[in-house]
């Protein structure tokens, strides 16, 4: 049976996750879909992860290990993409783990509906991994449905819930030196597909931990979200004008969120970033206040920011106070 199945390359960027790496790799090796190529990319990890990766490679010939100077998540994914040989590609973050049937189910979805991409939902967890029912049917949707729902509901952006036909990455790589890179690349890949399968089961376990990229406190890397969401908005404006407002809502939401996080911070390293946000708000204010995808409370915050930084600061304080009393 193994020889009849196409090879799936699973790329795992590894950095400073010694406490989680065994759980992650074991969940991949224990997949019911066995014809796998598992590429562990030791991205200059300062702990014992590099040694652990080598030990796995000695025990299982499906594993390949890359050791490289730290370049970040995108560089690690790209290193795996550059050497993978599978017909299909998947990504797993090294502090997460996956359901035993994840790749088998997604592969069956791809075959059943004759598509290039299938993805599942996420099981978010802290500490122990809760058991969830996974008996929901999959649906094949056109790309417009998937793209618009992704942008308007801020879901389905992650690289790691998906099984991709390898050809989707022929001319695409993740932007190195940037964080929060999944959003733009995912939208471009969606746009390359006519139809996409949505598997509504929670087959990917996203394990929330402190000091990860997503949960870390305010830092300059978080502002990469501005460039990513602006890039998608401009892309949609050019390629799919009818989807521009949905993309604009993601961009505006990002601006408000980052301004809220940084408005009380007086460190000099954030001054230019805040100026940039106020500039974008003034530039796109007219279209944003008419955008049906942008919430009324967001439009109030935009208006306050357009008036002055002080006005936004006071309005944001009021918003936080109201939220705390709910």
What pLDDT does residue 91 have?
Answer: 98
What pLDDT does residue 77 have?
Answer: 97
What pLDDT does residue 217 have?
Answer: 76
Any idea where the domains of the chain sit in the sequence? 2-207, 220-325
**Cα–Cα distance measured from residue 271 to residue 259, given in angstroms and rounded to the nearest whole number:** 11
Using an 8 Å Cβ cutoff, are 205 and 125 in contact? Answer: yes
- Total Cβ atoms within 10 A of residue 308: 11
166-180, 269-283, 310-324: least confidently modelled range: 310-324
What pLDDT does residue 326 have?
Answer: 66
Token representation of residue 127: 């500490």
The pTM of this model reads 0.93
Could you confirm whether domain 2-207 is CATH 3.90.550.10? yes
Q: Give tens-digit pLDDT for 53-70.
A: 999 999 999 999 999 999
Token representation of residue 268: 């000099």
pLDDT exceeds cutoff 70 at 2: no
Q: Give tens-digit pLDDT for 147-206.
A: 999 999 999 999 999 999 999 999 999 999 888 889 999 999 999 999 999 999 999 999
């Amino acid at each position: 049976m193994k020889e009849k199945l196409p090879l799936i390359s699973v790329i795992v960027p590894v950095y400073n996750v010694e406490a989680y790496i065994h759980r992650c790799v074991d969940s991949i090796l224990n997949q019911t879909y066995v014809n796998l190529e598992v590429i562990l990319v030791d991205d200059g990890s300062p702990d014992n992860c590099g040694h652990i990766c080598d030990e796995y490679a000695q025990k299982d010939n499906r594993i390949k290990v890359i050791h490289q100077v730290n370049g970040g998540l995108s560089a690690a994914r790209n290193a795996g993409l550059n050497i993978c040989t599978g017909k299909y590609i998947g990504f797993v973050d090294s502090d997460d783990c996956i359901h035993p049937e994840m790749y088998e189910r997604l592969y069956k979805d791809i075959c059943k509906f004759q598509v290039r991409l299938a993805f599942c939902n996420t099981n978010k967890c802290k500490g122990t991994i809760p058991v969830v029912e996974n008996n929901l049917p999959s649906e094949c949707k056109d790309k417009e449905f998937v793209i618009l729902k992704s942008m308007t509901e801020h879901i389905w952006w992650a690289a790691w819930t998906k099984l991709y036909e390898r050809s989707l990455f022929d001319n695409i790589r993740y932007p190195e030196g940037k964080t929060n890179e999944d959003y733009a690349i995912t939208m471009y890949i969606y746009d390359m597909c006519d139809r996409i399968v949505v598997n509504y089961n929670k087959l990917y376990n996203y394990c929330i931990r402190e000091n990860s990229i997503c949960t870390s406190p305010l830092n300059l890397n978080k502002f990469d979200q501005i460039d990513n969401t602006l890039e998608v908005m401009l892309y949609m404006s050019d390629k799919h004008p009818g989807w521009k407002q949905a993309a604009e809502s993601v961009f505006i939401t990002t601006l408000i969120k980052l301004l809220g996080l940084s408005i009380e911070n007086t460190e000099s390293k954030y001054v230019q970033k805040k100026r940039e946000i106020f500039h974008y708000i003034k530039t796109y204010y007219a279209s944003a206040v008419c955008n049906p995808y942008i919430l009324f409370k967001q439009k109030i915050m935009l208006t306050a920011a357009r008036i002055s930084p002080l006005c936004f600061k006071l309005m944001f304080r009021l918003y936080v106070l109201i939220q705390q009393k709910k």
